[in-house]
């Protein structure tokens, strides 16, 4: 498949990053979100981030202008009709994704591939729900998309080899490295990473260490670029909880039980950087631990 136009469904942090990278790689981008305010914020963020790249010398001003001109924003699903592939980047809840697929399917071209940026949900189930299981695939980008080089490619039970080949070629065009992951809860990266974060939260919950000592320990003792609690705040504690719940439900093992402290932080609305408070308070400079 010759992919020239890419649709991105959802203009949050992940959708914004995917659209950013796709536009810089020469693809026409249709960015769709039902909220105009979200689209406006996304376009402003994209322009700001590309301007930063120009300042750093990683792209030139001509590339920035051309890329921004390739992004076409819309609040209606019929704008996806011209797309060769649509990458869904809506919240990490299966019920939301299923509802969105029901809304967009009447508007997709007969040849279009539908990819989900899900970080943990079964591609086989989502593909069946879409009604085009052979043209449905997992394409899991990592945040921040313009910086992170990896894309996990996940094949559902019915995903065709042609679909896999198309998304692998697309990821390479976008400057990414791909790895193939089997369709099990959490795939590769989150199957390993998110339980590690959850275990760090258990260590805090049980008084084994403080926020600062846990993060410092993993940075200096395991050569991690940032501590697990800092990383949890960056990812979003609600997303960490969602993934742990998917792992716990899908694998049925108590070692994937979400830490009660994580559940409480999410219930309190302390979701990390995006809300200004998680394991750290981001209203101070530098951020200070909240426990």
Q: Which residues are catalytic?
A: 119, 140, 152, 190
Biggest CA–CA distance in the chain, Å, is 56
Match 């979701």 to its residue by tokens: 271
Burial class (CB in 10 A: 0-12, 13-18, 19+), 17: buried
Helix (H, G, I), strand (E, B) or coil at 175: coil
Q: Does residue 3 sit in helix, strand or coil?
A: coil
Distances (CA, A) of 280 to 32, 148, 262: 33, 23, 13
**Burial state string for 49-85 with b = 16 or more CB within 10 A and e = fewer than 16:** bbeebeeeeebeeebbeebbebbbbbeebebbeebbb
154, β-bridge pairs:
138, 181
Neighbours of 32 (CB within 10 A): 26
Q: What is the dihedral of CA 168, 174, 179, 181, to 10 degrees?
A: -70
Residues 48, 41: Cα–Cα separation, whole Å: 10
Span between the terminal Cα atoms of the chain, in Å: 52
């Amino acid at each position: 498949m010759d992919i020239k136009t890419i649709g991105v469904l959802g203009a949050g942090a992940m959708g914004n990053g995917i659209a950013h990278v796709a536009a810089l790689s020469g693809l026409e981008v249709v960015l769709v979100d039902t909220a105009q305010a979200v689209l406006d914020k996304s376009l402003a963020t994209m322009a700001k981030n590309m301007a930063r790249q120009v300042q750093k010398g990683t792209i030139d001003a001509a590339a920035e202008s051309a890329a921004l001109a390739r992004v076409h924003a819309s609040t209606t699903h019929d704008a996806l009709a011209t797309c060769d592939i649509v990458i869904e980047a809506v919240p990490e809840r299966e019920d939301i994704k299923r509802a969105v697929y029901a809304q967009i399917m009447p508007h997709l071209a007969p040849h279009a591939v539908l990819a989900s940026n899900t970080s943990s949900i079964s591609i086989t189930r989502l593909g069946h729900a879409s009604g085009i299981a052979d043209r449905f695939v997992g394409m899991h980008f990592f945040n921040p998309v313009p910086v992170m080089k990896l894309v996990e490619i996940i094949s559902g039970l019915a995903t065709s080899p042609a679909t896999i080949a198309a998304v692998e070629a697309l990821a390479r065009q976008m400057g990414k490295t791909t790895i193939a992951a089997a369709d099990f809860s959490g795939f590769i990266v989150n199957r390993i990473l998110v339980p590690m974060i959850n275990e760090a939260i258990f260590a805090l919950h049980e008084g084994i260490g403080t926020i600062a000592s846990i993060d410092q320990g993993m940075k200096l003792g395991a050569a991690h670029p940032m501590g697990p609690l800092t990383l949890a705040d960056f990812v979003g504690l609600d997303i960490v909880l969602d993934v742990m719940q998917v792992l716990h439900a899908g694998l049925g093992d108590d070692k994937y039980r979400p830490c009660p402290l994580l559940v409480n932080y999410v219930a309190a609305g302390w979701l990390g950087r995006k809300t200004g408070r998680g394991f750290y308070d981001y209203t101070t400079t530098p951020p200070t631990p909240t426990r």
